[in-house]
Amino acid sequence: MSALNALRDEISTITQRGIGMPMAGMIFWLAFAGFGHAYPLKQASLYAFFATGAVFPLGYWLTRLLGGDLFAKGHELNKLGGIFNAVQFFYWPILIAIFSIRPELVPFVMAVLFGSHFLPYGWFYRAPGYSFLGIGLPLVATVLQLIWPERVFLSIPLAAAGIYLIAVAMVWAQNARDRAALGERAFVAVNQVSRDSGAFESDPYSAPEGSSGS
């Protein structure tokens, strides 16, 4: 188990926990809120469906911009991460059926499906922010659907964007702590190597032994 945890830590560092993906997701939900405000529900849903195609490339480039490699090519766990991501493709038959039968439920179903998609990444990246997103968004979407069904094309996307923002902040803070800890460990390791090599055995600025310095 410790070996698996070490691999999870490695891929978390390489990918920066894929932080660009929830950033892109937040932008998507803000766009969905705009569609829901400006267009009839079926038209807004279609625009939202097309907009999902921009989420992955945007998330990939945002992750790259922040120093992460989302694919982590060559790493032992990259295929598992790919499987977690590919699961989303199986959501589309559900979404298409909902759009055809009950289009007013599209924001709710998208929030539940795409929000819960992040739950395995909470384990994979050891990231509480993703666990929060994976649990929090379906719960909030359910509450909004039950108490305010006539406004879900605006309320659910806006709530989703807010929850994504909190998740981004949590993952960002965790990455920052990891970078600080990595820097501290590197500093200690360099000092230890220097001591082991004898670099600190003599100080060229110290007075010779037995000298009073005057």
Q: Higher confidence at residue 16 or residue 84?
A: 16
Domain ranges of the chain: 2-192
**Residue 197's pLDDT is what?**
56
Comparing CA positions, the residue from 12, 16, 5 lying closest to residue 172 is: 16
Helices (H), 104-151: 106-116, 119-124, 128-147
**Is residue 135 classed exposed, middle or buried when 0-12, 13-18 and 19+ CB atoms within 10 A define those classes?**
middle
Least confident window among 136-140, 163-167, 179-183? 179-183
Instruction: Dump pLDDT digits (tens) for 67-76.
Output: 999 999 889 9
pTM recorded for the entire structure: 0.84
In this prediction, residue 211 carries a pLDDT of 44
Neighbours of 155 (CB within 10 A): 21
Q: pLDDT confidence of 81, banded at 50, 70, 90?
A: confident
Mean pLDDT value of segment 17-32: 98
Q: CA distances (Å), 162 to each of 28, 38, 127, in order? A: 12, 20, 18
Angle between helices 92-101 and 106-116 (to 10 degrees): 170
Is the pLDDT at 200 greater than 50? The verdict is no
pLDDT at position 188 is 60
Residue where the block lists tokens 């923002």: 165
- Token code pair at residue 209: 């032994």
Question: Across the chain, what does the average pLDDT equal?
Answer: 89
User: Is 170 in contact with 158 (CB distance < 8 Å)?
Assistant: no
Q: Say what the pLDDT of residue 154 is.
A: 97
Percent of the chain's residues with pLDDT above 90:
73
What pLDDT, on a 0 to 100 scale, did the predictor assign at position 192? 57
Quick: pLDDT tens for 170-191: 999 999 999 898 886 665 654 5
Alpha-carbon distance of 112 to 163, in angstroms, equals: 13
For the cut 60, the answer to whether the pLDDT of residue 207 exceeds it is no
Maximum CA pair distance of the chain?
A: 95
Instruction: Tell me the two tokens of residue 104.
Output: 């007013």
**Per-residue pLDDT at 186:** 63
Q: Tell me which residue of 9, 117, 127 sits closest to 72, measured CA to CA.
A: 9
CB environment 162-174: b (16+ within 10 A), e (fewer): bbbbebbebbbeb
Q: List pLDDT tens digits, range 99-131.
A: 999 999 999 999 999 999 999 999 999 999 999
